[in-house]
Structures are given as structure tokens and as C-alpha cells.
Copies of this chain bind each other. A is one copy, B any other.
Amino acid sequence: VAADRRNLIVVSNRGPVTYSRENGERVARRGGGGLVTALRGLVAHHDVTWIASAMSDEDRAVAAEGAIDESLGDGSTVRLRLVKHDEKAYDWFYNVVSNPMLWFLQHYLWELAYTPTIDIALKHAWTEGYVRVNEGFASAVVEELEAAPDTPVFFHDYHLYVAPRVVRERAPDALLAHFVHIPWPQPDYWHVLPKAMRTAVHDGLLANDVIGFHADRWRINFLRSSRDLLGAESNFVDYYAEHAGRRALVSVHPISVDPNEFEELARSEEVLAAERGLVERRTEQLILRVDRTDPSKNIVRGFRAFELYLDANADAHGRVRMLALLDPSRQDIPEYSEYLAAIQREARRVNDRFQRDGWIPVEVSVEDNFPAAVAAYKQFDVLFVNAIFDGMNLVSKEAPLVNERDGVVVLSENTGAYEELRDWVVRVNPFDVAGQAEALSRALSMPRAERHERLEAIRAHVRDHDVAGWIDGQLADLDRCVASASSR
């Protein structure tokens, strides 16, 4: 699919590179974000202009200079256009509306009896922050389209829901696609937002020609909420929604990883060094979780589940350990720092109950250390993913690729990945800690032949459905839109 080189515009809040100034020199640092990694193939094979927020002072200096070409280090070059936002507007956009408001809403995390409270401050953050920053992005897109009108535009994620409508008004014939990387909640839960805001979110997205999700479950939810909240004509057979005289295709393309990259990483010196440290300290069996410290990841209940497992399995004491590699996340937001505190309290509580003779049942590491994660991917006996809700969960695809112990994946039914991997994982309900304890027990005692078969099946699936396929699917959607437009 799509062998030709194309002109494409990618729009995301976080760009592939940020700049700083060191000793009077401009220094570019590549970001390690999942989206950047996933889109590397797109940049390598096509002519991509990437529009992103200027984050640092030096980013803002770059923004003032217009678009610049930047190498992404693997021989590919991206044309980078940074957008400078008012700093207060950006804070409201990012730290008030995008996180926690939309993130919490889309993961069903609010405690509705008490939170959120939509007050004047939140409304102000919406109009003067979220909408303003989206308009900044839209203006940059429109300028690019004026120079090259037929270039397709790919918006990414929950930061940019209202930008497509602004672009559509100024460039009615533009080819616009949007990919939503997080769960789409069901219509009732969108009522957390006042009518004007929830309408703007749906109306903005429906200004696109294509809207992509990682799982069929989120697609169905989007079609339902577009119908219930906006009166769109949603078609659940051919998967489109009609609204304001336009038809938007709603597609499913599960994001994935580059298997070769992980196999290379697994052999890298950094990972091997981390692995040696891990092997020295390992007990007989290792349960691993790798997450951001995000309330959606369900880390607290995970420790409680392990406690129940230890209660029921005295023979596991001293033999089984849980390792939680946690990347600190969004610590500017109170809900996130509170959750990190709860994680630490719960781990300590379990350790205080059970530790003996140098065996510490739960080890928590809070740092951003990717080589350590890949080393642990190689060494786990059970990978534990019990997310409350998760758009995809890439850990459940990455870790099996490099695992060397026929490890078992225990996976939450509320992840996008569950739709793909369900036949080969041990399913858990994220709220059911008793069920999670049983799942850990089952996974830890599974016969080697069965573990091997399940792991190989996951590996084969991820290799057959890699990140290149994710990109090809989205490009094919664009071709369908162009074909159907020209056939009219």
C-alpha cells in the first residue's frame, strides 16, 4: 500500500524534537514519546511537515523563524513547524482542560459526587486556553494548506478536538484525518461537560474526513455519542457519521510497535547492563508492571491484588516478587501527585506486612528509564496490565516481543489491546482484585508448554500487525476518501 512518496501534514501537541540553548548553541533533543516513535515510518517514507507546540524558550525562537528541516537521526528528515502559544493559554490548555479534564473524562476517572466542578475558571480555561491553542494550530495548518492545498492533514489526540472545525471553515476542501489515542467514553459520561463543550468536541472531530481509533469498542462509542449528543447520522455497518452536510469515516487501526527495533534494543549494551542487575537480584518468579504513574493504570489495586495472592499462597513468600517500573507523569496536576502518593503508601503497606529475610515482595521504581524497562521485558514471568481503561496499552505488545522466559500476559479487559490479544492472555477485570489475585496465581503456575504457545501467538500477531501496518491503514483511508470524493 502507498508506495508513492506523499506530502503530508502531521499535527500534534508534542513534536518530535525540542530545542534548548547550551553554551550559546542551539541543541535539538529528540523526544521519546510513543507517537513520535510510531510516526517515524511515516516521516521516513514521505515528505512530512510536522506542526507542534513550542515548549521551551528555544522552541519559541525556532517558531519565530518559521518551518525548519530537522533530522530525526535515522536518515529521515522532517519539516518542523513549531507554534508559539501564549504561555498562560498553554497552561490552561494543557494542565486544566486536556489534563485532567478530558483525560479523566475519557478514562471514566472522575468521582462524580464531588469532582469535577465546572466553574468560571474551567470555562475560562476552555475558551482562553483550549480553544485558543487549537486556533493557533488551525492557523498554522491553514497557512500550510494555502501553500500546498492538496496536502492531507493528520491531527493527533485529545489536545486538538476543536482545531479541525476551524480548518474546515477556512479550507472547506481540505483532506483532514484525526487519530484519537485514548478511549472514547459512552454518551452519558460526556455529560460531565456542559452542552456547549461536549458539542464542540464532537462537532470539531466530525469536521474531519476520517476519525481513527485503536479499538472497535471506542469506535462504537464515538458513533453512539455523535448520534446521541449531536444528532449525527451514525452508520454502524459501514462505520461513518454524517453531520453538517459531511460524511466522516470512522475507522479502527490498532497502533503497534516496530518488532525489529525491540529485538535490537534487547541486544543493546544499555539493556544488557540493566538486565545483569535485574538477574542478580531476581527471585524465582517475577511479576512485572511498566506504567506511567497515571490513575488510569490502576497501580494501587495491582498491589492489593498481589497482597491477596500472597495471602492465599504462603509458598510464594520469598519466591515471587512484583516489580513496578513507573514513569513519573504529570506531577504538576494534583490528581497525579496524589495518585503517586497512594501508590507509594500501598506498596509500603504490602511490604510491611510480608517482607522477611531480605525478600521484599514489591519493588517500586519511579523513574523514566526505558533500558531498564526493556531489560525487565526480557525477564518477566508474568506481565501484569490491569488498567482501568486504556486506549491501547503498548506495553502488552512490546514486552512479549523480547521476553525470554515464556512469560504470561495478564491483561485488563478494558484495554484496546485486549481486542487483539484476548485469545492468548489471562483476562482480568480491573476492579476485581480478588480475580486479579487468581489470575496471577493461574499465570504463575501455568505449564511451560502453554505459556510458550501463548507467548509465541502474541509475538506472531504483533509481527503481523506492526506499526507500519498501522500507518498503511491510515493512508489507505485517505485514498478511500479521495476516491469517494472524486467519484461524486
Binding site for B on A (CB under 8 A): 107-114, 116-120, 122-123, 185-189, 191-195, 217, 221, 224, 295-296, 298, 300-301, 304, 308, 339, 342, 388-389, 413-414, 429-435
Contacts and interface: CB of A to CB of B under 8 A. Distances in A.
Contact of A188 (B123, B221, B431, B433): B221
B339 A434 contact: no
Given A117-B301, A295-B113, A296-B113, A188 B108 contact: yes
B112 A108 contact: yes
Given A186-B186, A308-B120, A431 B192 contact: yes
Contacts of A414: 188, 191
10 contacts: A108-B112, A110-B111, A113-B296, A113-B298, A117-B304, A122-B434, A186-B188, A188-B189, A193-B429, A195-B429
Given A113-B388, A114-B342, A342-B114, A189 B191 contact: no
Contacts of A221: 188
Contacts of A107: 112
A194 B118 contact: no
Contact of A224 (B119, B224, B301): B224
Nearest to A312: B120
- Of A113, A123, A187, most buried by chain B (CB within 10 Å of CB) is A113
Given A185-B188, A224-B224, 20 more contacts: A107-B112, A108-B189, A110-B111, A113-B300, A114-B300, A118-B433, A118-B434, A119-B304, A119-B308, A119-B433, A119-B434, A122-B434, A186-B189, A188-B217, A188-B221, A191-B414, A194-B429, A194-B435, A195-B413, A195-B429
A169 to B, nearest CB: 27
Residue from the set A118, A217, A413 with the largest chain B CB neighbour count within 10 Å: A118
A414 B435 CA distance: 33
Contacts of A188: 108, 185-186, 189, 217, 221, 389, 414
Nearest to A108: B112
B113 A339 contact: yes
